[in-house]
Chain A
């Protein structure tokens, strides 16, 4: 592969982009939380705040034609894959201008144009889908990668092990990205796994596997670029465990009885945006005016998304059965 895909050049433009992407997720979701308390957004809302470096770093390594399969904590992945903030916010509102026409909501964002395959709310249920997408690419001779995101809780599911085995056995171009935020909802990793090193489980399937600091966007990007380049070269699956932390509750209903406030505060001090901004400013990768401009751009994008969602329309109830099945066979 070319150097373009394997090296990370931390020039001003790239630093600005990384900050911008992480902030897009952060501000978008902060707005979602606010809208949730106003009851504009209902149902479950799972925020990714604290974990932004993972989606940001991985997405830098993907091409537009690569596929992404994500979980119910996927607003950031959808945004960075290229789904518009407008369409995502409208979906959160349940409006028909939403990226899933209001049928999916927060947990089921989909977008065919950017090859964003959900929005899967059964833990580990997306892994076999990713295996299948990659199998289709292999059988059709297409040079594309499928990136599949999931939490460490998925490692307790059979589908995790079945999928890793299939992808390794059949040499399929899948990048498995484990977002290890240490809690499966409220159950700590050490309370649910006999082996808490998730990357070691993946390695046991004869798959290239590594763990990185998921709070460090540059580390994630470097590892992702290396992994994706290897996948494109060899066709073989790769596993990346990103060790991270969720700053907010599991969902809006979670009183967080299972962890200490101090622990959350300690992790916030190591937050990916705080850390990267501080480093980049010190290292000369970013200037104060860059940060201000990026903040302003993001605020504008989020405000426009809210306006778009507010102006959106409700699908007529008569259309309830639309897309329950195909109109006719082809």
Chain B
């Protein structure tokens, strides 16, 4: 290929692979926050208290319709203005976790709404409390139809981690930028980063589909 330097490639690859580790950690940590917080947001939108429902719904709408990169800046810079200093990692995880929790809450909501009305009624006939209904009957059935969407957002969060570079989280793009400016060579680092992203996200999509069918079988659905 045009001007591609293999020795430079081998020289910078270890550094990029190390950064890939950070990228994966950031994605998984952010996702863990989003999975839990998203469920909270989904359930909060189902409470019988109208004002709570409306406020949460508008909040979710707000987060979903504004750019993640701006939210990352907001979390990182606004804290210090009020005397709260957050590390780049902490602010990054908060921002990305919060952002994706709003997407996941919609996925959960769809899953919960896909559970047949008769299931709620059967749970009432067994005299279950609301908590028991969700925990034992509704959520287990809401998860399988939500898995595809949940998987997509896991890959999505991974592809959004480069935004964390703007506040100095040492993930892939951050490393590639550093390599580029140290050596005045951008072809190899940016291309390699692209290949690494492909190498992770393509198999991940396949694995997620396998996992989905495994869960369905496991639950006898």
- The answer to whether A binds B is no
- Residues of chain B whose beta carbon lies under 8 Å from any beta carbon of chain A: none
